[in-house]
């Protein structure tokens, strides 16, 4: 205490500042960084959760890069992203742009778009899973059968299963993106539009020259946010394919599901940790690249 009293006011302020800062620093160190570091270490070890850990060097990584299932899964993960981010952003922007002009029942329509985002992913995934079933219980296929159109395989096809899982994921995330886009559009000062109209500029030019450039921070945020979301997709796939996780024939399996399967079905924790490190690296690189590309010049 004596030491503290002898400090100058400036030094005391520093002590207090660090005192308050210590809380998040400790929190992040213990809850985030320590386990992350532990996972990286674990990726060089072999562990089945029960016995001791043994070092096995880069064996887990060698096995991973030689595993054809990993590359299939890696491709799937990027397919979710490449289909997901641009399409969902485009659709949500079109909705937000037009919804912004609608006055009639504006709040209700906006709420309707937001509703799926608030629904539990698990409940939603199971509902869609049932929609996709063949006759006699699947909603879509029953409709097709009623008008004598052949059954559509949805989740039972190696080609269509991934888009079938992807579609509800996009639909569920749409509400959030619409709300963020609308907030972004509202934040653009009206004076720009007034000036443009006085100059007699057409709606296309307004969109291209005013709205989109000024929405850039919003777009950057949504691109990064939705990319991370699609790269980490798990709940939808897991719940829609519990009978054949990530199937058929690994057609829908994303990286996170492979990690889950390796860790909690095969109990190969070291191998799962190696997959996690790869996912972490991919997420980091993709986010950094996107931030760099979309940074203001």
Partner 1 sequence: MKILNKKFWKNSVTGLAAGAVFAMGTAAANAVEIEYWQYFFEARVNAVDILIENFEAANPDITVIQTTFPYADYRTKVAASIPAGQGPDVVQLFYGWLNDYVDADLIRPLPTDMFPPEQIEAEFFPMVQAMKRDGAYMALPTAVRALALFYNKRLFEEAGIEAPPETLDELVDIAAALTKRDGSGNITQVGITTGMNAQDHHWWREVLVRQFGGSPYTDDYKTVTYNDASGIAALQWYADLETTHGVTQSGVMDEPQAAFKAGRAGMHIDGSFRIGALNSTRGLEWGVAELPAGPDGMRSNYSSYWVNAVTSKAEGEKQEAALKFMAYLTSDEAMQIWLETVGELPAKPTAALTDANKADPVFGPFVEGLGYARTTIFANESGQRQVIMDALQRILLEDASAETALGEAAATEQALLDEYYN
Check whether the bond before 197 is cis (ω within 30° of 0): no
> Which CB sits closer to partner 1, 45 or 261?
261
> Which CB sits closer to partner 1, 218 or 276?
276
> Which CB sits closer to partner 1, 145 or 188?
145
Binding test (CB under 8 A) with partner 1, winner from 13, 29, 48, 119: 48
> Which CB sits closer to partner 1, 18 or 130?
130
Q: Which parts of 225-264 interact with partner 1 (CB under 8 A)?
A: 243-245, 247-249, 261, 264
Place of tokens 């981010």: 85
CA distance 22 to 32: 15
Per the CB < 8 A criterion, the answer to whether 235 and 169 are in contact is no
Quote the least distance from Cβ 87 to partner 1, whole Å: 26
What distances in angstroms separate CA 259 from CA 63, 86, 164, 176, one per listed residue?
Answer: 14, 26, 22, 27
Binding test (CB under 8 A) with partner 1, winner from 156, 179, 280, 283: 156
Binding test (CB under 8 A) with partner 1, winner from 19, 107, 150, 202: 150
What's the full length of the chain, in residues? 297
Tokens at 196, concatenated:
């443009």
Query: Which residues make Cβ contacts (< 8 Å) with residue 212, sequence separation at least 6?
Result: 219
Give contact residues for partner 1 (rule: CB under 8 A).
48-52, 129-130, 133-137, 141, 145, 148, 150-151, 156-158, 243-245, 247-249, 261, 264-267
């Amino acid at each position: 205490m004596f030491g503290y009293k002898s400090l100058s006011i400036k030094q005391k302020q520093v002590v207090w500042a660090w005192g308050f800062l210590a809380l998040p620093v400790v929190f992040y160190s213990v809850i985030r960084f320590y386990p992350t570091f532990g996972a990286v270490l674990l990726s060089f070890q072999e562990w089945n959760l029960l016995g001791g850990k043994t070092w096995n060097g880069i064996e887990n990584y060698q096995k991973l890069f030689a595993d054809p299932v990993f590359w299939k899964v890696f491709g799937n993960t990027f397919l979710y992203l490449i289909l997901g981010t641009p399409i969902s952003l485009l659709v949500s922007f079109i909705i937000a742009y037009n919804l912004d002009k609608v006055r009639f029942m504006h709040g209700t329509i906006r709420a309707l778009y937001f509703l799926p985002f608030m629904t539990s992913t698990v409940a939603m995934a199971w509902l869609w899973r049932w929609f996709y079933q063949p006759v006699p219980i699947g909603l879509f296929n029953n409709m097709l059968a009623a008008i004598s159109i052949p059954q559509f395989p949805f989740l039972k096809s190696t080609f269509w299963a991934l888009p079938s899982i992807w579609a509800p994921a996009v639909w569920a995330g749409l509400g959030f993106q619409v709300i963020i886009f609308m907030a972004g559009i509202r934040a653009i000062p009206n004076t720009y539009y007034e000036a443009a109209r006085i100059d007699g500029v057409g709606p296309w030019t307004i969109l291209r020259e005013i709205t989109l450039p000024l929405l850039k921070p919003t777009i950057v945020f949504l691109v990064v946010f939705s990319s991370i979301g699609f790269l980490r997709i798990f709940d939808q796939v897991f719940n829609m394919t519990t009978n054949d996780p990530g199937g058929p024939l690994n057609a829908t399996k994303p990286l996170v599901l492979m990690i889950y399967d390796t860790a909690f079905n095969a109990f190969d924790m070291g191998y799962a940790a190696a997959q996690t490190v790869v996912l972490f690296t991919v997420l980091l690189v993709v986010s950094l690249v996107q931030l760099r590309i979309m940074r203001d010049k």
